[in-house]
Amino acid sequence: MSDNEQKVVRVQIKKPMSWIQKELFGPIQEAARKPYPFTFPIVDPTTCWCNLSELRLCMLIVETKPVGHRRSWLKLDLVERIQKIYDDEDPSCKIFLSDEHQVAFDEQRKQLENGSTKRLIFPPKYTVRPTLEMVNEKMNEWFHMDISEKNEPNRKREFKFGGGFNLPPHLLAQIPPDYGRDVEGEHPLAFMDREPKEGKDQGKSDDDKAAGCSTKA
């Protein structure tokens, strides 16, 4: 081998998931767990993003796509979910849990598969608890939401009904088949507010009917 030639050696080593998490996110999370790690200026760790919390935010954005006419509801749901890890989420979400909660997460999933109805919610190990304003700032930093909104087909927020409107079946069944032939210009359910003529006369005695006839005469 000459002096100008370089030899490249690639070493492949298999490492468990716990080692990868500790190597990639350990120093960041260790610093994030310490309350107010900086003396000046004082920084609240619940307002500081880290790589792990940003990864969680990216996963939720891909899942929900908070853009378009439903963006307000989806963003509120995103803020709620970034602060919790639900027991029915994908197993890859274990990366956001502590070692103790990872074991409990696996046990809970087994219980759900066996028919258990008990549900659990786990706190993520990152300390940030973002507000809606923090999420909006991060999304604008990454995606330029003004441009994303312009590219949405529903940007005008127009709501249209697909087809005509029909009454529910239980209301349609109350309309007489011959209704509308002798009554014009009334609402289809106006008959419900009127008492039938036979019903009015049923409660009257013969004397009342005779008195009514003599009065009219």
Write out pLDDT tens, residues 135-175.
999 999 998 888 888 877 754 555 554 555 667 777 777 77
DSSP three-state, residue 215:
helix
**CB atoms < 10 A from the CB of 152, how many?**
14
Asked whether 128 and 53 are in contact (CB, 8 A), the reply is: yes
- Predicted confidence at residue 75, as pLDDT, reads 92
**In percent, how much of the chain has pLDDT > 70?**
59
Q: Assess contact for 144 and 62: CB atoms under 8 A.
A: no
Q: Is the dihedral of CA 29, 30, 31, 34 positive or negative?
A: positive
Q: Is the pTM of this model over 0.85?
A: no
- pLDDT band for position 11 (50/70/90)? low
Residue 116 near residue 87 (C-beta atoms within 8 A): no
